C-alpha cells in the first residue's frame, strides 16, 4: 500500500550536524574535480573527442567534470535503441514503473547532500536554494509515481447494457527531454520521470552548464531500476544535434524547459511532419516569464518588500518565476521602494560554498555578459538605486549584486524583456486597476503576485491577472509539487502544470476499448421515446 503523498521536508542548516554534512559533501564533490563523464546509450559508456567542461561559476577556473559530447551519429544510435526498448518498456505494468521512481527517490535521499553540493559548485546555488531543488526532485518522483498508479486504475465511464467498455492510458513513444540549467535536478528529474513512468523511453539532453548534476540524476534513475535501453544520457550541442533530435521522425514528443526563443524554435521544428513520420509530435514547453508583483494602497508593505526581494533575488533572479517587475500604486511607491532597497542591500553576495552567502554568481560568462548589458540599458531607462556594478572582478567569479531600478516605464526594455538575472524594475501605477493593466502588458503569463487587504481587489485580481500561477499576499516563487501545479500562458509555454494531477496526461494518449458481451437484451426504450407515444403526439397535432 502506497502512502499518501507528502512534500519532502527541507534541511535545517542551523543544526551543526546538518551544516557539517553539507560542508563535507562540498569538499567531496570538489575532490572529484575533473572527472570524465561519458555519453551513455543503451548502457554503453562512450567517450568522445568533443567535450563539455563543467566549471564553478564562483571560481571559473575550477573544472568539476569533463563531459563527452554526442554527435549526430550517436544521437541517431540512441533514438534507434530507445525505439526498440519502447516495445518492451510499454508492456511493463504501471506499478512496476512507479516502483522504479520510488526507489529513485530513496536513492536521491541517500545522496541528498551530494546533489546539493554539486549544484552549489556547478551553478552557484546557495545551500537553501540547492536543497529546495533536491527536495522538489524527490517530490516529483514520489508524486508522479502515485499519479501513474491512479491513471492505471479503472477509469469512470457511463454504463451501456450489452457492452463492456474501458478507457486506458498508453504511452506515446520515444521522447527527448531538453532540460534547463537553473533547476538542474528538479526540472530534469520531473520531466524525465514523468515520461518514464508513463511508459515512454527517453533521451536526456542536459543543459551544457550543468551536465554533472544531470549525470547524477541519470545514475539515480538507473539505480532505481530503469533499464539501460529505456533511458539515455546524451549531452550535445543544441544548435546541431538538438535540432536533429527534435526533427527526427523517430521522436514522438519533446519536453522542454528554457528560453522563449529556443522554445519557439522547438515548437516550429516539431510541427513539421518529416518523411516517414507517423504522428504529430507533442511538445511540452515551459519557456519563461516577465513576472510582476502588484502592491495595492493598503497592502502590508513590510510583507510586500520581503516577498519582492525574495522573488527577485533568490538564486540571483535566475528563475522563470522570478519577480522582475514590482508594480506599486503611487501612494506607496516611494515608501516601498525604500524598503526594498534596504532589504535587498542586506543580502550577502559571494561564493556560495559558504552558508553565509545568500546570493552567488550568475551561471556562466554568457549570463554575466547578458545581465551587465541589461544593467547598461537600465542606466538609460530608469534610475539605479541599488547595485549596478559587479561585486568582484570577473576572474573571481560571475558575481552581480542585487540591482534595483526606479522610475521605469512600463514599455521600457528592462520592463518587457526577460533578463533572467538580479535586476528588478520598480514601476509606478496610478491605481490598482492601472497596476493590473501594466502587469498584463507582457507577452508572458507565468507567475504573479498581489499584495492587498481589500477582498474586492483580491477578487478582481483573481479574475483579471492573466498568469498561470497567481499568489495572493505571498511571493511569486516557490511552487510546491502537488500544491501549486506550475505552468504559464502565452509565451510562457504550454501551461504544462508540472507537479499537478494533469501533467502525466501530456506524456500519454487515451485508448477506448468496447467489447460486446452476452447477456440480457438492452432495456426497452423509455416511454418518453416509445413509438406509441410518438404516434399519439402526431395525432394530437393533427
Distance of CA 441 to the CA centre of its chain: 23
Cα separation, 284 vs 136, in Å, equals 19
Cα separation, 228 vs 44, in Å, equals 9
Q: Which of 271, 334, 273, 263 is nearest to 305 (CA)?
A: 334
Please report the DSSP string for 479-495 in residue order: --TTTS-B--EETTBS-
Q: How far is CA 254 from CA 188, 263, 504, in A?
A: 13, 10, 14
Please report the DSSP string for 242-265 in residue order: IHHHHH-TT--EEEEES-HHHHHH
User: Which residue is listed with cell 546539493?
Assistant: 116
Helix (H, G, I), strand (E, B) or coil at 453: coil
Provide the β-strand partners of residue 438: none
Cα separation, 199 vs 268, in Å, equals 26
Helix (H, G, I), strand (E, B) or coil at 323: strand
Helix (H, G, I), strand (E, B) or coil at 369: helix
* Cα maximum dimension of the chain: 97
The set of catalytic residues is 286, 320
Element (H, E) at 134: helix 127-152
Q: Which of 244, 220, 279 is nearest to 102 (CA)?
A: 220
Amino acid at each position: 500500500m502506497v502512502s499518501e503523498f507528502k512534500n519532502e521536508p527541507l534541511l535545517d542548516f542551523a543544526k551543526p550536524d546538518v551544516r557539517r554534512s553539507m560542508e563535507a559533501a562540498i569538499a567531496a564533490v570538489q575532490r572529484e574535480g575533473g572527472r570524465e563523464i561519458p555519453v551513455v546509450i543503451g548502457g554503453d559508456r562512450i567517450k568522445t573527442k568533443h567535450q563539455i567542461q563543467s566549471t564553478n561559476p564562483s571560481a571559473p577556473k575550477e573544472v568539476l567534470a569533463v563531459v563527452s559530447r554526442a554527435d549526430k551519429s550517436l544521437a541517431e544510435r540512441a533514438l534507434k535503441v530507445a525505439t526498440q526498448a519502447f516495445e518492451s518498456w510499454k508492456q511493463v505494468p504501471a506499478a512496476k514503473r512507479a516502483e522504479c521512481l520510488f526507489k529513485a527517490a530513496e536513492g536521491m535521499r541517500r545522496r541528498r547532500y551530494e546533489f546539493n553540493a554539486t549544484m552549489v559548485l556547478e551553478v552557484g546555488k546557495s545551500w537553501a536554494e540547492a536543497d529546495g531543488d533536491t527536495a522538489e526532485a524527490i517530490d516529483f518522483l514520489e508524486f508522479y509515481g502515485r499519479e501513474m498508479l491512479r491513471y492505471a486504475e479503472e477509469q469512470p465511464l457511463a454504463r451501456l447494457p450489452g457492452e463492456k467498455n474501458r478507457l486506458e492510458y498508453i504511452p506515446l513513444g520515444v521522447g527527448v527531454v531538453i532540460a534547463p540549467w537553473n533547476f538542474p535536478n528538479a526540472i530534469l528529474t520531473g520531466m524525465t520521470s514523468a515520461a518514464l513512468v508513463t511508459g515512454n523511453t527517453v533521451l536526456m539532453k542536459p543543459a551544457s552548464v550543468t551536465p554533472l548534476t544531470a549525470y547524477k540524476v541519470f545514475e539515480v534513475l538507473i539505480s532505481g531500476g530503469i533499464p539501460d535501453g529505456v533511458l539515455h544520457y546524451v549531452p550535445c550541442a543544441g544548435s546541431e544535434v538538438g535540432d536533429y533530435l527534435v526533427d527526427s521522425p523517430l521522436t514522438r514528443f519533446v519536453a522542454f524547459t528554457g528560453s522563449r526563443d529556443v522554445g519557439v524554435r522547438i515548437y516550429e521544428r516539431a510541427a513539421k511532419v518529416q518523411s516517414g513520420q507517423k504522428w504529430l509530435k507533442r511538445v511540452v514547453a515551459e519557456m519563461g516569464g516577465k513576472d510582476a508583483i502588484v502592491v495595492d494602497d493598503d497592502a502590508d508593505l513590510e510583507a510586500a518588500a520581503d516577498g519582492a526581494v525574495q522573488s527577485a533575488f533568490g538564486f540571483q533572479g535566475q528563475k522563470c518565476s522570478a519577480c522582475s517587475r514590482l508594480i506599486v500604486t503611487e501612494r506607496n511607491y516611494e515608501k516601498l521602494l525604500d524598503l526594498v532597497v534596504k532589504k535587498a542591500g542586506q543580502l550577502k553576495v559571494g561564493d556560495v560554498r559558504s552558508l553565509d552567502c545568500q546570493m552567488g554568481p550568475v551561471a556562466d560568462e554568457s549570463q554575466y555578459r547578458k545581465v551587465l548589458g541589461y544593467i547598461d540599458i537600465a542606466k538609460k531607462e530608469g534610475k539605479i538605486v541599488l547595485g549596478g556594478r559587479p561585486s568582484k572582478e570577473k576572474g573571481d567569479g560571475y558575481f552581480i549584486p542585487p540591482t534595483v531600478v526606479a522610475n521605469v516605464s512600463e514599455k521600457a526594455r528592462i520592463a518587457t524583456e526577460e533578463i533572467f538575472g538580479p535586476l528588478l524594475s520598480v514601476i509606478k501605477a496610478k491605481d490598482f486597476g492601472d497596476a493590473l493593466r501594466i502587469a498584463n502588458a507582457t507577452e508572458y503569463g507565468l507567475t504573479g503576485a498581489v499584495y492587498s487587504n481589500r477582498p474586492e481587489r483580491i477578487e478582481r485580481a483573481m479574475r483579471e491577472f492573466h498568469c498561470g500561477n497567481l499568489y495572493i499576499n505571498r511571493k511569486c516563487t516557490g511552487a510546491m509539487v502537488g500544491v501549486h501545479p506550475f505552468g504559464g500562458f502565452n509565451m510562457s509555454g504550454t501551461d504544462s502544470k508540472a507537479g499537478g494531477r494533469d501533467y502525466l496526461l501530456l506524456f500519454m494518449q487515451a485508448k477506448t476499448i468496447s467489447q460486446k458481451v452476452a447477456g440480457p437484451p438492452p432495456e426497452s426504450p423509455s416511454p418518453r421515446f416509445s413509438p406509441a407515444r410518438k404516434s399519439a403526439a402526431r395525432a394530437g397535432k393533427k
